[in-house]
Amino acid sequence: MSRPPFPPFTRETAAQKARMAEDGWNSRDPVKVSLAYTEDSVWRNRGEFFQGRPAIVEFLTRKWAKEHEYRLIKDLWAFDGNHIAVRFQYEWHDDAGNWHRSYGNEQWEFDEAGLMRRREASINDIAIAEKDRRFLWPAPGPRPADVPGLGTDPF
């Protein structure tokens, strides 16, 4: 199994990889998303540490059962060889209808087949008013082409 583009990454292929990851996560399909990772992929997400596709599927299933109307934007931050770093923001609401925006950074390491073998994510959440939401495209689904990335938005 492989998932182009393959390392070593260029600016163009690293940005493509980030957008592919964003689109996958916006599908909110845990099994589909897990196929972008090696079978023994190692993850740190906030304070959780786990390994392997079954654990990824379990984690994402639990995540999206809690984070309703999830919408995500990832932007390329840096790249080198088989490593990519992204910054991201996503919005979601809890069971009580309270909206949140989550901010974070991820560091990724890929194998030669273009599958992610390591993902480390640091994430912070803030409560937002529904009127302050920015990510308004229909969900689940990819961010439309006319909705810009994070660009120079500092927060």
Per residue in 49-76, pLDDT (tens digit) is: 999 999 999 999 999 999 999 999 999 9
**Averaged pLDDT, 116-141:** 97
Please check the confidence at residue 79 and state whether its pLDDT lies above 90: yes
pLDDT above 70 (res 150): yes
Q: Which residues contact 87 (CB under 8 A, 6 or more apart)?
A: 74, 75, 77, 103, 104, 105, 150
Domain boundaries, position 117: 11-132
Query: What is the tally of structural domains in the chain?
Result: 1
Above 90 in pLDDT, residue 155? no
Q: Report yes or no on 153 lying in a domain.
A: no
Residue 145 covered by a domain:
no
Q: What is the dihedral of CA 4, 153, 119, 141, to 10 degrees?
A: -60
**Average pLDDT estimate for 30-41:** 98
pTM assigned to the model:
0.96
Q: Is residue 143 part of a domain?
A: no
Residues 6 or more apart whose CB falls under 8 angstroms from that of 25 comprise 33, 70, 72, 74
For the segment 95-115, the average pLDDT, to the nearest whole number, is: 98
In a domain, 139, yes or no: no
The three-state secondary structure class of 117 is: strand
Tell me, yes or no, whether 116 lies in a domain: yes
